[in-house]
Copies of this chain bind each other. A is one copy, B any other.
């Protein structure tokens, strides 16, 4: 039998209210006697009393729960995000429900329903973006929402972003400075805002250098190892072999590297590569990879701060966008052609 406030009240011969006040550390302001308070706290300890959170939530209309919806928890980008978010929220007394969509829109929809049904206090969402109907369901309910790692035009909300375009331009310009002209863009899902902005950065850099881009140098697809692998091998075996790859995320980059290796080529001697996201393996390859690092810890903390300020302070503060700079980490995966 799990003890409730009543259990304790009965044994100490006081009312539920008194027990509640004591256990919530409000007995001083109610002027409850030291003696009563002590009896209650020690009995609670003895019985291993733990407040029923479902009851508290129902009464208070506050769950201290945040839903975190990510697209692929096995991608280190997201697992690190979860780690930082979980840690920050834990220290504030919040608990997180984790939802993995695997880039599946129905899943995203289902998870959002579950989270709304559970009356979470807020949601951190890294949306698929194939359709944004799901997002409106959250907005309609006025549930605080932090959109993570995506920018949807004409959708007012709180955003946590990095400057994708500038970050990409820094990397691609670096390739151009090293004399590269045949630079391939291996991209992610075409409807994804990151992909679009990274692609825009790529085009800008090449355009500024007056380098034209043949159609077959642009390989949109999806954020997978497989896509990176296939795009890389296909191009390396074509009759117009590029000198450099730009990979739109860590999964694609890893796949491309594997493709390069399987074609019997060396990075950076035979082919150069740069890409988005820093990841552990990047430093483990024979030639460590030059990458665009996203400040994940800061992004996670900003997401939490943004959400909590909306939850705890007022919901009438204006929408905010946290746009952080990326960091270009130069290692050794590009060759200077000059």
Contacts and interface: CB of A to CB of B under 8 A. Distances in A.
Contacts of A52: 58, 117, 119
Interface in A128-143: 137, 140-141
A283 B116 CA distance: 41
Interface string A57-93: 1100001010000001110100110110011001000
Interface stretch (A9-17, A94-102, A175-183, A318-326): A94-102
Contact of A113 (B50, B58, B285): B50
A48 interface: yes
Contacts of A82: 73, 98, 100
Contacts of A100: 82-83, 86-87
A2 B54 contact: no
Nearest to A78: B79
A218 B99 CA distance: 41
Contacts of A116: 50
Interface string A252-278: 001001100100000000000000000
Contact of A51 (B55, B57, B117): B117
Contacts of A286: 285-286
A281 interface: yes
A280 interface: yes
Contact of A54 (B48, B63, B114): B63
A47 to B, nearest CB: 11
A7 to B, nearest CB: 14
Interface of A: 2, 48, 50-55, 57-58, 63, 65, 72-74, 76, 79-80, 82-83, 86-87, 90, 95-100, 102, 107, 110-111, 113-114, 116-119, 137, 140-141, 225, 254, 257-258, 261, 280-281, 283-286
Given A257-B284, A261-B284, 12 more contacts: A48-B137, A50-B116, A54-B118, A73-B82, A73-B83, A74-B80, A82-B100, A86-B99, A86-B100, A87-B102, A280-B281, A281-B284
